[in-house]
Amino acid sequence: GENFKATLGAKLRQDDMLAVWPSAYPDDSILKSFTYAGANAVYSKKMGAGAGLSYDTGNGWSGSLVYVGSEGDDAENGLFTDESADDITSQIAYVAEQFGAALAYTTSDSASGDYESWGVSAYWNPAESGMLPSVSLGVGFEDPETGDDENTWTLGVQWSDVFADGNTLGLGIGTATAWDEDSDGPMAYEAWYQIGVSDNITVTPAVFVVEREDDDDVTGAIVKTTFRF
């Protein structure tokens, strides 16, 4: 319809059915920690049988309601059962020309444990490339049925057309894993420079650091080549 979008299928992913992805930071950067808009438990990106409904008001506001049973694609598990590992996500978002923001809530009875979670995420894009980067910030709060409350957050910035048109410089910082009152909150960092070799090929050298609670940090460097056809 003109304002509504409905999705139903046997193999769907949560974020594909939401009206808005509340981050300008690329989903294919380096570390997986930075691909959840700062709210890992809310934007779980679960995949399975499910359905989604989104509504766009036409003036920037939108709402979404999404269901995914990550074990529901096995017919024996059914849907909305203890075996289907259900995630239900609702989102209210606002998108303008240069910025967007979303408030989302997810309730889950996945195999890793039942929980409720909230997420607040937002991004801002400059009007044109230059000294100012795009900024994406997100925070997530998780209330598991057992255990302490946990939190996550990420901040990602990226500059367009750095040194040459089509090249992008990006930096990310945030939680490597969820942290609570008993955790020191290990951090993750990444820096990358995406070089547009052609319209279909990019080369991205990058460095990253992932802290661990046992002080055995991981530091690495990679060069990633991406082909698009």
pLDDT > 90: percent of the chain = 71
The pLDDT of residue 73 is 64
Q: What is the pLDDT of residues 166-210, one digit of tens each?
A: 899 999 999 998 888 777 678 999 999 999 999 899 999 999 999
Q: What is the pLDDT of residues 66-114, one digit of tens each?
A: 999 887 666 666 676 666 788 999 999 999 999 999 999 999 987 678 8
The pLDDT of residue 18 is 97
The pLDDT of residue 197 is 92
Q: What is the pLDDT of residues 1-38, one digit of tens each?
A: 889 999 999 899 999 999 999 999 998 889 999 999 99
Cα angle 190-23-161, degrees, rounded to a multiple of 5: 65
The arithmetic mean of pLDDT across residues 127-139, rounded, is: 91
Contact 185, 193 (CB under 8 A): no
The arithmetic mean of pLDDT across residues 141-150, rounded, is: 88
Radius of gyration of the chain measured on its C-alpha atoms? 19
Query: According to the 3-state scheme, what is the secondary structure of 24-37?
Result: CCCCCCCCHHHHCC
- Parallel, antiparallel or unpaired: strands 187-196 and 201-210: antiparallel
The pLDDT of residue 216 is 83
